[in-house]
Amino acid sequence: MPKGLKLHDEYGRAYRIAAALWQDFAPQLPRTDLDPARATHAFVLDLLRQCLGFTDLTPLSDPVPIGDRGFPVTAQALGGRLPVIIAPHSLGLDDPDPRFAIHGSGARRKSAHQLAQEFLNASRDCLWAIVTNGRSLRLLRDAETLTRPNFLEFDLETILREGEARYADFSALWRIA
């Protein structure tokens, strides 16, 4: 942090930027003439870079190879140690879709959440992952032995739509991220 600033100044600044990004993104949600994947991708990349501090976030076009499988990870941050899976805003994070199928696994469809968890469990370098559709953001941890999904989820839509009433929720997200 720059000298003279306090922690709450930084997440206050990030909140104002996030709210402005949401103001641009929200009108695109009901539109059917726009590609939901492209709109969500642009919003999420800006949110992660400008508001949550992932300045080295790099979009990926090819699957990430691990062993004999290829994982269609959307982006990576922290020098490749944080995978980011971005689903279109029109798709739930637990909804199976062919775009999240792991190459070489035999499955034709996976959800964004399943892709992220399987990537974490297969990767030696990654302990955390972010999964989002622009409306919700989940933070997942490598947890191969868990029988039920464990994650921390933030309702971005509610946090950013309701403004100052949800400022404390955004500050929690910012500090955790």
Q: Give pLDDT tens digits for 112-131.
A: 999 999 999 999 999 999 99
8-state DSSP, 103 = B
Query: To which residue do tokens 């969500």 refer?
Result: 40
How many Cβ atoms are within 10 Å of 122's Cβ, its own excluded? 17
Q: Output the pLDDT for position 146.
A: 61
* pLDDT of the residue at 103: 92
**Residues near 77 by beta carbon (within 8 Å), at least 6 away in sequence:** 48, 54, 56, 57, 58, 84
pTM over 0.85: yes
Question: Per the structure block, which two tokens stand in for 113?
Answer: 């959440």
* Residue 170 identity: F
> Which stretches in the chain have pLDDT values below 50?
none
